[in-house]
Chain A
Amino acid sequence: MTASPARLTRQDVEHVAKLARLALSDAEIDEFTGQLAGILEHAALVSALDTSDVAPTSHPLPLVNVFRADIARPGADRDEVLANAPAAESGRFRVPRILGEAP
């Protein structure tokens, strides 16, 4: 990949912030637009290199097939598990009203 990416816009940052459920002020959007654009431009420098003979590296280790035997172990203690929850009811995690069906 040698073409440089289109410059990151405020709209891109607003979209990413929304996906991450972050409420950003206008000033923060300006600030992060500059910072994120800088990161992308740095990545673009790497993209400019000829890497045609380098395999993609989604994993840093040359490992495959790390498996676990299909043998059940007892789960964690439920009281202990639910003690960490902001709210619990009837042995379950209690969550606020859900707006909309599951994705």
Chain B
Amino acid sequence: MSVITSANGTQWEIVSGLEVHCELATNTKIFCSCANRFGDEPNTNVCPVCLGLPGSLPVLNEKVVEYSLRVGEAFHFTVPASSIFHRKNYFYPDMPKNFQTTQYDEPICADGWLEVDGTRIGITRAHLEEDTGKSTHMGGDGGRIHGASHSLVDYNRAGVPLLEIVSEPDIRSAEQAAAYVDELRSTLKAIGVSDVKMEEGSLRVDANVSVRPVGTDGFGTRCEIKNLNSLKSLRDAMDFEAMRQIEILEDGGSIKQETRLWNENEGYTASMRSKEEAYDYRYFPEPDLVPVAPSDELRAHVRATMPELPAARRDRLKAELGISEQDARTLLSTDGLADYAEAAVALGAPPRDAALWSTQDVSAHLNLVGRGADASGLDPSLLVEILQLVADGTVSRNQGKEVFAAALAGEGRPGEIVVARGIAQVSDTGALAAVVDEVFAANADAVAQWQAGDDKMRKKKRGFLMGEAMKALKGQGNPQLLNQLLDERLP
């Protein structure tokens, strides 16, 4: 595990549990039929239920239950026979009802786990709740709440279904925390329950952090860190917070249990509220919602329709395509990329080449197309054709990459592009030999220097002659054949 060595040489470790809030990608909100859609005009997806108008009644979205069961399967949770909702009471403008409907002591998922790089991280529970509205703070400094004159509230997000996934304090480093969230994220995405975009807030992370000397097994006082909007923020904030606590403890101080906010721009955590100011939420069972008791039919349906999870798929890709863990991760990190490589293999492409050209050339194309591009619309037969052209020597590897990029950009079939651009590789030994002879004749001094020179000079002159030959061939000579001919014909 990751050890932090302080200035005085003491070895410390982080003890951390994470709370991950995941917005479910349903069509509608959790308790009403308003659209669940990011980026719409403010307050256009609202109704009496999510605005908390008197007399309105919530009705649970059936898709939310199905998605929760999928999460239950993916993370080895127990889904109890029955779970219920509570009201969490507080006054804050982000919830127009003055309470948030949430699960409390009877969540829909309990006692799960996720394996991260060979270590099992326990997941205490996953409970359903509604998301809150979005406040914009006006008249202050850079949209901050402090110094603002007033705030504007958009309730489009109020009532969007959230699943809060709470881990055990099993995490021992910032790196491991990031790896846990990454695995959680790719799994949630693979099972189709969330679009897991941290930058749009559909996946949000709070980190509980404490520290203890390596070799001890008690728990220190923890702080909860909020406002972590990326894996980098998570890592940076946890490392900062651990050092802050270590310095206090080594100075003979004690840690105050509190909630702290990560300041992304300045790179530090600052106190937001202490335990003494903690809210008294007065939870009580929500009388307007009946218990959720997932039927055997629904449980069986979910089990039968679970897709392959990322961990299993990585193992399969490694074995079937003969690639590294890192390449398997790269294939799975872009939407549709692994599918693209596998489709090319199914059409006859050599597995390893198909995988590596996908991670390199298809990725490069997607980067060029722009943010958020995915490989699902691309034609895998293009890759099959290119790899065939390279294999039979029609084009060199580098030419193949050029043609593939053009084909992906929509210029036509690889074969057509080769003809149109006149970039077919010259693999005719006779033609190549003639060019080599011409180059030798035109550069007799270089040939002479090669003959007389030491190893260094020979290498230099050989490289020069190879370059001249390639130039004469407009870069289209088959490099293997050309090299071979050069060796044969140098005196």
Contact = CB atoms under 8 A, between A and B. Distances in A.
Interface stretch (A1-9, A28-36, A37-45, A73-81): A73-81
A98 B94 CA distance: 10
B280 A19 contact: yes
A68 B84 contact: no
Interface stretch (B37-45, B373-381, B452-460): B37-45
B352 to A, nearest CB: 42
A15 B280 CA distance: 10
B409 interface: no
B145 A98 contact: yes
B186 to A, nearest CB: 24
Contact of B63 (A70, A75, A90): A70
Interface in B297-342: none
B445 interface: no
Contact of A68 (B47, B60, B136): B60
Q: Which one of B43, B60, B138, B295 has the highest number of Cβ atoms from chain A below 10 Å of its Cβ?
A: B43
B150 interface: yes
Interface in A83-103: 89-98, 100-103
B236 to A, nearest CB: 20
B237 to A, nearest CB: 16
B151 A75 contact: no
Measured as residues with beta carbon below 8 angstroms from the partner, the interface class of chain B is 35 or more
B291 A64 contact: yes
A23 interface: no
A78 B261 CA distance: 34
B290 A100 contact: no
Interface stretch (B152-160, B362-370, B421-429): B152-160
Contacts of B33: 68, 71-73
Contact of B46 (A59, A65, A76): A76
B292 A98 contact: no
A9 B62 CA distance: 45
B152 to A, nearest CB: 4
Given A90-B42, A98-B93, A98-B137, A72 B34 contact: yes
B149 interface: yes
B26 interface: yes
A15 B154 CA distance: 31
A70 B155 contact: no
A70 B42 CA distance: 22
Contact of B44 (A64, A75, A98): A75
A68 B280 contact: no
A58 interface: yes
Nearest to B149: A97
B47 A19 contact: no
B62 A67 contact: yes
B53 to A, nearest CB: 8
B291 A96 contact: no
A49 interface: no
B37 to A, nearest CB: 8
Contact of A67 (B61, B152, B282): B61
B279 A65 contact: no
A90 B293 CA distance: 42
B491 interface: no
B59 A66 contact: yes
Interface of A: 15, 19, 21, 58-59, 61, 63-73, 75-76, 78, 81-82, 89-98, 100-103
Closest 8 CB pairs of A and B: A92-B152, A70-B63, A58-B285, A67-B62, A73-B33, A64-B293, A68-B59, A72-B35
Interface of B: 26-28, 33-36, 41-48, 51, 59-65, 82, 84, 89-94, 132, 135-138, 145, 148-155, 226, 261, 272-273, 279-282, 285, 287, 289-295
Given A59-B287, A66-B290, A101-B145, 6 more contacts: A67-B62, A68-B61, A72-B28, A75-B43, A95-B93, A101-B273
6 contacts: A65-B295, A66-B60, A68-B33, A70-B28, A94-B150, A97-B148
